[in-house]
Each structure stands twice: as C-alpha cells, then as structure tokens.
Amino acid sequence: MNTKNEKQIKKRSEQERSQETKLKILEAALSEFASSGFEGVSVRVIASQAGVNHTLISHHFGSKEALWKATAEWVFERYDRLSKERIMALKGIEPHAMIRVLLRNFIEFCAIVPDFNRFMVQANQNGSERLNWLADRFLTSGSEAELSILRQAQELGLIPQGNGLHIRYLFIGAATSIFTFAPEFERLSGEDAFSDEVIERHVDYVLMLFSDKNSLS
C-alpha cells in the first residue's frame, strides 16, 4: 500500500472517530439537558456521561451554550429527516392514510427519543433567550408545517374542528406524556412504556382520541 493511500485511510479513520465522539457527546448532552436543564448540568458531567475527556467538548463544540444549540439542531434535524423519509415513501397514497402515518410518525419518534420532549420542557422553563432561539430556528416553521397538516385533516373531516394551534398542543401532550412519565406508567401498570405492544396501543388510542368519529382509525 502506497503512502498516499495510507494517508487517505488514516484521514478517514480519524474523521470517523471524530464523528463517533461528537455523536456520543450529543447523545449525552441531550440526556443531561433534558433531565437537568441548561443551568443544572456541567460540561464535565456531560463528558463523563459520554465517556470522553471534557476538553473534547470544547474542541468539537466550544462553549456549553454552543453545545446546547448543537444538541437542539441534532435532535430536530433527526426528527425532520425521519419525517421527510416517511413523506417520500408516502407519495401517491390517499390523504387519509398519509395524515395517519404523519401523526403516527410523531408519536413513534417521541417513543424512540423521549428526551426530545423533556428537552423542550426544560427549554420552556429556563429563560426566554434559548427558547427564542429555538422559536426562530425551528419552532415557528415547524409549527406552521404541522398546522398545515392539521388544517388539511380538518378540511377532510378527519379530526375535530377548532383552533389548530390549541389542538396541536393537545396532540403533543397526549402523544408524549406516556413516554415523559414512563417510570410512573410502568410503576402503576407493570408494563414497559417503550415496548412495541404499548407503543402500538398508544398510537391507536391517540389517533382514536383525535379522530372525528374514529375516521382515522
């Protein structure tokens, strides 16, 4: 193997390790920011959870503020990517079926990444500056897209009429609560909130709850 190829392989290996390290940090940061909020967690705690030296956080992200924003971008982009993949796969199907799948997609994402909702709860509690950044970066455009889906569903008679933004928050609350309060649910029910059986049942219940005469069921 010549020197040029060796250098290319070494560079790719270093890039892969760097990406793996960043992913570990982002996963740990999401968990810690979701459970303790921005003010309640330190960079050293996040580094410990990620299993990396805390200096690597400064190297990859800079400040704790920058890490928080990078974490928000990572989790929102993860949801956006999954949604777009679902939409692409749904081209040509009836609006009735498409809306059900899009609503199901959100519920399933909340089950896969329960810290997403916890992260948002913390962002709403810990000052307006970061919440304003989230609104400018993601929430305004995201809610507009979601309201468009809800309005279409209302026009088709698939969900009850009413204030779309209010219904959006009702849906988010119903979709996320079982996963946000998973330990409580498991203690009371003896069931794993993240089991396939419970998730599937939860999806059906939420869609039934928000359907008009069960038209989404």
159: helix, strand or coil: coil
Instruction: At 69, list the tokens.
Output: 């924003």
- CA distances from residue 207 to 131, 156, 204 in whole angstroms, order as listed: 29, 15, 5
Domains annotated on the chain, with CATH: 93-217 (1.10.357.10)
> Which pLDDT value is given to residue 201?
93
Can you tell me the distance from the alpha carbon of 217 to that of 207, in angstroms, rounded to the nearest whole number? 7
Q: Is 92 exposed, middle or buried (0-12, 13-18, 19+ CB in 10 A)?
A: exposed
Tokens of 114: 């329960």
List helix spans (H) across 90-114: 95-112
In 3D space, the residue among 131, 115, 125, 134 whose CA is nearest the CA of residue 37 turns out to be 125
Q: What's the pLDDT tens digit per position in 135-176?
A: 999 999 889 988 988 888 888 887 888 999 999 999 999 999
| pLDDT classification of 62: cutoffs 50, 70, 90 | very high
Q: Does 8 score more than 60 pLDDT?
A: no
